[in-house]
C-alpha cells in the first residue's frame, strides 16, 4: 500500500471513530438538555393548572391535561417520564413527556396528568444532528484533501529519490545524486544512502579488480605449468603410473586454462570494455560454426538441421559473435543425448537454437548464471551461457529460454 | 634457423626454447624491449616471438622495428593479454600470427613452421616424409606419387602431425588446432579419434607406412617406425 493511501486510510478511520463518539455525545447531551427544559415547563404548567382547579376553572384538555377525581387522598408524586399516546389524527403513536401528580382542593381529590408533545423536540434534535453530520463530513473531507496534498508535497523528494535508487546500478561506479529536502529524516536518509552506495560501489570495484587481477595473474603460472607438462609429455615415459598422473595433471591444467580464459572474457564483458564492432553477416557466422561443429555432433549421432534465411548484417564484434554462436551450439551438443536433434533457425532478427536433452524444462534464471550445478554436466565449465548472456546485454540483444515439445529452445533477438 | 623470443617471463621463454631447440632452431632471449631492440639491430632472425606486455613498453614497438630492419623475419605475437584489440593491432602492424598464452607448444611449433614455409618457399611449398608428400598450395596429398583424397579434417590433421614429427600431440592440442579456440567447450574429445582412425586407414590403404602411433592415455605421435 502506498504511504499516502495508508495515511489517508488512518485519517479516515480515526475520523469515523471520532464522528460516532461525538455524535453519540451530542445526541445524549442535547436530549438531556431539552428534556430538562421540558420538565421545567411541565412543572410550571402543573402549578398553573392547580391554581385554575382551585378556582374551579375547567382545565381538561386531553391529551395535554387530564384531571381525574379520586375518592381518597393520594399524595405521592411521580418523576417526569416518557410515554406514547395514540393520536387518531395522524393514526400513529406519538411521544409525550408527562408528570402525574395528586392534588387535593376543597376536599376533592384529583389525579392530575400534564403532558407535552415531544414531536417538536425530536424534530429539533434531528435537525441539529443533521447539521452536525454535514458540517463534520465537510470538515473531514476538506482536511482529507489538504492532508493528501501536503503529504504528496512532503514526500515528493522521497519518491524522486526512490526512482533514482531504482535506476542506480552499483556496477556503474557512480555515486547517487539524491534530491535534498528540508525534512531532517529525509536528509539523514540521503546521507546514509550516499554513504552506503559509495561504500558498496568501492567494494564492488575492489572485488571486480581483484577478480580481473587474479585471472590475469593466473595466466602466467598456468602457462608455465602447461608448457612444462607438455615438455614432460615429450619425454620417453615408461612408468605407466607416471603417465597416468601426468595425464590427469595435464587434463586439469587445460581445464583451469579454459576456466581462466572464460573468466577473463566475462570480466571484460562486465566492465563494458570497448569492443571494436563492425557489420557482420551473422548468417555466414552461423553457417561457419555449424560446419565446424558438424563432425563433433556426428560423433554423438546428433542431427543438425538448419534454416538460415538471414541476409542481414548485425553490428557486433567479430570474435564475440563467434563466441555467442559457438557457445550456444556447443551447449546444444554437450547437453544432448546420442541420436538427438538440433534445429538452428535464423531469420532477419532472430536466432533460435533448439535441442533435445534432459526431459525437464530448465530454470531460466539459473541457466544463464555462472556455474549452475543443475546444468553443469561433467564436461561443462558452466560459464558458456553466462558469457552468452553478457554478450547479449552488451549489444542489447534479447535472450529467451523456453521448453516446447521436448526441445530446449534458446532464442536471441538481435 | 634463428628465433628471437621476447618474453618477460623467463620460465615461459625457457620452455619454448627447450621445445624449439629439438626442432633445430637457435633461440635468443630478451626479457625487455631494449634488449630485444639491440638484438634486432645486431643479428638476423628468421622468426620473432613477441609478448606484448613488457616491463619497459609494448611489444608492438618491436614489430615496427623488425618490419623496418628485417622485413624477411616472421613475427608471431604471443600475448597473455587476452585482448581482441591487441590481436587486431598486432596483425595490422605486420605480425604474421597471433597466439594467446597459454598455448600448446606443438601449436606454436606448427605456426612457426607454417610461417617459415610461407616466407621461404615461394610458390613451391612441399612437405615430404617418407612416402607421403603434401603440396601446401594445392592442399594435395600424394603417396608414392599417387594422389589420395582426404577430407578437410584429415588433411589438417596430417599437416599438423607432419609439422610436429616425433612429438606427442595431446588430444587437447589437436582439438584446439583443428576445431579452433571455441572447441574448448568440449571435454569429451573422442571425436578426434574417429578422424585419426580414418586418416590412418587411408594412409595404410595407399601403401604408406602407418606412422601415427597412439600414446596411451595422452594422444598421438607421428614418427618413423
Q: Does one domain contain both B89 and B143?
A: no
| Residue among A254, A322, A377, A382 with most chain B CBs within 10 A, to mutate | A254
Same domain for B139 and B99, yes or no, is no
Q: Cα(A188)–Cα(B222) distance, rounded to whole angstroms?
A: 75
Q: Does residue B115 sit in the same domain as residue B134?
A: no
| Average pLDDT for A383-409 | 90
Please indicate, yes or no, whether residues A237 and A329 belong to a single structural domain of this protein: no
- One domain, residues A9 and A128: yes
Q: Which residues 290-349 of chain A have a CB within 8 Å of chain B? A: 292-293, 295-296, 298-299, 317, 319-320, 322-323, 326-327, 330-331, 333-334
| A32 phi/psi in degrees, rounded to 5 | -65, -45
Interface test with B, best of A212, A213, A220, A223 (most B CBs within 10 A): A223
Q: Which of B120, B143, B165 is the last residue of a domain?
A: B120
Confidence of residue A374 (pLDDT cuts 50, 70, 90): low
Res B87 pLDDT > 80: no
pLDDT at A397 over 50: yes
Domain boundary among B85, B102, B120: B120
Task: Tell whether A275 is within 8 A of chain B (Cβ).
Answer: yes
- Give A224→chain B minimum CA distance, Å: 6
Give the CATH number of the domain where residue B210 resides: 1.10.10.10
What is the number of structural domains in chain B?
A: 2
A250 and A314 both lie in a single domain? no
Confidence band of A380 (pLDDT split at 50, 70, 90): low
Judge if A221 and A282 occupy the same domain: no
The parent domain of residue A357 ranges over 278-413
Average pLDDT, chain B: 87
A179 found inside a domain:
no
Cell of A364: 531460466
Minimal Cα distance from A321: which residue of B? B182
- Quick one: B75 and B172 in the same domain? no
pLDDT, tens digit, 9 for 90 and up, residues B206-225? 888 888 998 887 889 998 87
> What is the band of A376 on the pLDDT scale with cuts at 50, 70, 90?
very low
My answer on whether B115 and B132 are in the same domain is no
B52 and B73 share a domain?
yes
**A241 and A335, same domain (yes or no):** no
Residue B169 has what pLDDT?
92
The answer on B144 and B85 residing in a single domain is: no
What CATH number is attached to the domain comprising A303? Answer: 3.30.565.10
The answer to whether B218 contacts A246, with C-beta atoms less than 8 Å apart, is: yes
ipTM reported for the complex surpasses 0.90: no
User: Mind telling me how many Å the CA of B102 is from chain A's nearest CA?
Assistant: 4
CB-CB neighbors (< 8 A) of A293 in chain B:
179, 183
pLDDT of residue B149: 92
Residues of B with CB below 8 A from A244's CB? 217
Same domain, A253 and A208: yes
Are A19 and A109 in a shared domain? yes
Q: CATH code at B82? A: 3.40.50.2300
Q: Decide which of B89, B120, B151 is a domain's last residue.
A: B120
Specify whether the CB–CB gap between A341 and A303 falls below 8 A.
yes
Number of domains in chain A: 3
Q: Which residue segment(s) compose the domain that B153 sits in?
A: 126-222
Is A218 part of the contact surface with chain B (CB cutoff 8 Å)?
no
Kindly report, residue by residue over A330-348, the tens digit of the pLDDT. Answer: 989 988 889 999 999 998 8
Give the residue among A94, A77, A78 at the shortest CA–CA distance from A86.
Answer: A94
3-state class of A74 per DSSP? coil
Residues of A in contact with B22 (CB under 8 A): 234
Contact call for B218 and A317, based on CB within 8 A: no
Q: Do B182 and A322 make contact, defined as CB atoms within 8 angstroms?
A: yes
pLDDT, tens only, B101-110? 888 999 999 9
Instruction: State the pLDDT at residue B122.
Output: 61
Residue A260 sits in a domain whose CATH number is: 1.10.287
Q: How many CB pairs under 8 A join A and B?
A: 123
Residues B188 and B110 in one domain: no
Residue A64 domain flag:
yes
Burial readout B151-166 (b: 16 or more C-beta within 10 A, e: otherwise): eebbbbbbbbbbbbee
B9 and B116 fall within a common domain: yes
Q: Is residue A149 part of a domain?
A: no
Locate the DSSP E strands across chain B. Answer: 2-6, 26-30, 47-50, 53-54, 57-58, 74-79, 97-100, 126-129, 132-135, 140-143, 146-148, 168-170, 212-215, 219-222
Report yes or no: B51 and B79 within 8 Å, Cβ to Cβ: yes
Touching check for A276 and chain B: CB below 8 Å?
A: yes
Please report where in the chains the cell 612437405 appears, as a residue: B127
Interchain contact, B101 vs A322, CB within 8 Å: no
- Do residue B132 and residue B205 come from a single domain? yes
The whole-angstrom distance between B19's CA and the closest CA on chain A is 7
Residues A108, A217, single domain; the answer is no
DSSP letter string, A288-326:
HHHHHHHHHHHHTTPEEEEEE----EEEE-HHHHHHHHH
Residues A290 and A393 in one domain: yes
Same domain, B151 and B185: yes
Mean pLDDT, residues B188-194: 85
Same domain, B7 and B113: yes
A389-395 average pLDDT score = 90
Cβ contacts of A240 on chain B, cutoff 8 Å: 216
- Asked if residue A181 is part of any domain, the answer here is no
A130 vs A60: which has the higher pLDDT: A130
The DSSP secondary-structure symbol of B182 reads: G
The residue out of A119, A138, A157 marking a domain boundary is A138
Domain boundary among A239, A270, A301: A270
The residues that bridge with A82 in the sheet, in sequence order, are A97
Q: Among the three residues A98, A120, A138, which one is the final residue of a domain in this structure?
A: A138
Amino acid at each position: 500500500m502506498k504511504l499516502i493511501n495508508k495515511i489517508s486510510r488512518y485519517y479516515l478511520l480515526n475520523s469515523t471513530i471520532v464522528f460516532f463518539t461525538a455524535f453519540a455525545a451530542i445526541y445524549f447531551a442535547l436530549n438531556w438538555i431539552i428534556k430538562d427544559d421540558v420538565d421545567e415547563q411541565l412543572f410550571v404548567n402543573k402549578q398553573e393548572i392547580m391554581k385554575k382547579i382551585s378556582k374551579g376553572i375547567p382545565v381538561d384538555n386531553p391529551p395535554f391535561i387530564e384531571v381525574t377525581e379520586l375518592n381518597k387522598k393520594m399524595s405521592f408524586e411521580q418523576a417526569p417520564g416518557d410515554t406514547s399516546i395514540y393520536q387518531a389524527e395522524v393514526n400513529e403513536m406519538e411521544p409525550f413527556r408527562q408528570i402525574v401528580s395528586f392534588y387535593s382542593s376543597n376536599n376533592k381529590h384529583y389525579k392530575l396528568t400534564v403532558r407535552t408533545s415531544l414531536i417538536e423536540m425530536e424534530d429539533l434534535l434531528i435537525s441539529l444532528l443533521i447539521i452536525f453530520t454535514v458540517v463534520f463530513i465537510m470538515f473531514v473531507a476538506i482536511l482529507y484533501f489538504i492532508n493528501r496534498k501536503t503529504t504528496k508535497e512532503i514526500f515528493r523528494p522521497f519518491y524522486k529519490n526512490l526512482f533514482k535508487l531504482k535506476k542506480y546500478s552499483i556496477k556503474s561506479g557512480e555515486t547517487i545524486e539524491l534530491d535534498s529536502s528540508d525534512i531532517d529524516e529525509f536528509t539523514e536518509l540521503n546521507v546514509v544512502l550516499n554513504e552506503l552506495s559509495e561504500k558498496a560501489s568501492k567494494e564492488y570495484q575492489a572485488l571486480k579488480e581483484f577478480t580481473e587481477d587474479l585471472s590475469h595473474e593466473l595466466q602466467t603460472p598456468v602457462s608455465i605449468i602447461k608448457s612444462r607438462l607438455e615438455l614432460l609429455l615429450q619425454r620417453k615415459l615408461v612408468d605407466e603410473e607416471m603417465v597416468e598422473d601426468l595425464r590427469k595433471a595435464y587434463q586439469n591444467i587445460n581445464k583451469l586454462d579454459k576456466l581462466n580464459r572464460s573468466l577473463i572474457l566475462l570480466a571484460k564483458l562486465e566492465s563494458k570494455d570497448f569492443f571494436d564492432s563492425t557489420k557482420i553477416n551473422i548468417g555466414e557466422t552461423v553457417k561457419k560454426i555449424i560446419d565446424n561443429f558438424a563432425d563433433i555432433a556426428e560423433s554423438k549421432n546428433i542431427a543438425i538441421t538448419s534454416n538460415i534465411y538471414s541476409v542481414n548484417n548485425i553490428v557486433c564484434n567479430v570474435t564475440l559473435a563467434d563466441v555467442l554462436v559457438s557457445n550456444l551450439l556447443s551447449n546444444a551438443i554437450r547437453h544432448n543425448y546420442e541420436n538427438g536433434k538440433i534445429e538452428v533457425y535464423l531469420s532477419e532478427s532472430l536466432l533460435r537454437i533448439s535441442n533435445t536433452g534432459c526431459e525437464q524444462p530448465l530454470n531460466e534464471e539459473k541457466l544463464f548464471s555462472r556455474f549452475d550445478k543443475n546444468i553443469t554436466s561433467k564436461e561443462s565449465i558452466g560459464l558458456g551461457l553466462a558469457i552468452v548472456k553478457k554478450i547479449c546485454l552488451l549489444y542489447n540483444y534479447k535472450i529467451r529460454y523456453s521448453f516446447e515439445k521436448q526441445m530446449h529452445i534458446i532464442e536471441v533477438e538481435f | 634457423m634463428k628465433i628471437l623470443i621476447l618474453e618477460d617471463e623467463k620460465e615461459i621463454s625457457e620452455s619454448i626454447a627447450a621445445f624449439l631447440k629439438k626442432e633445430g632452431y637457435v633461440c635468443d632471449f630478451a626479457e625487455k624491449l631494449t634488449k630485444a631492440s639491440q638484438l634486432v639491430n645486431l643479428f638476423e632472425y628468421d622468426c620473432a616471438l613477441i609478448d606484448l606486455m613488457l616491463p619497459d613498453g609494448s611489444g608492438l614497438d618491436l614489430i615496427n622495428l623488425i618490419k623496418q630492419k628485417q622485413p624477411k623475419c616472421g613475427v608471431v605475437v604471443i600475448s597473455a593479454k587476452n585482448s581482441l584489440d591487441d590481436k587486431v593491432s598486432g596483425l595490422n602492424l605486420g605480425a604474421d600470427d597471433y597466439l594467446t598464452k597459454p598455448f600448446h607448444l606443438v601449436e606454436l611449433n606448427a605456426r612457426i613452421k607454417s610461417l617459415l614455409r610461407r616466407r621461404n618457399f615461394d610458390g613451391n611449398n612441399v612437405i615430404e616424409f617418407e612416402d607421403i608428400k603434401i603440396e601446401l598450395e594445392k592442399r594435395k596429398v600424394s603417396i608414392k606419387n599417387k594422389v589420395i583424397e582426404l577430407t578437410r579434417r584429415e588433411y589438417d590433421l596430417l599437416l599438423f602431425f607432419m609439422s610436429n614429427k616425433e612429438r606427442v600431440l595431446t588430444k587437447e592440442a589437436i582439438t584446439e588446432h583443428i576445431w579452433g579456440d571455441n572447441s574448448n567447450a568440449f571435454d569429451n574429445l573422442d571425436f578426434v579419434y574417429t578422424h585419426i582412425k580414418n586418416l590412418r586407414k587411408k594412409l595404410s590403404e595407399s601403401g604408406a607406412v602407418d606412422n601415427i602411433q597412439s600414446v596411451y592415455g595422452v594422444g598421438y605421435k607421428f614418427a618413423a617406425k
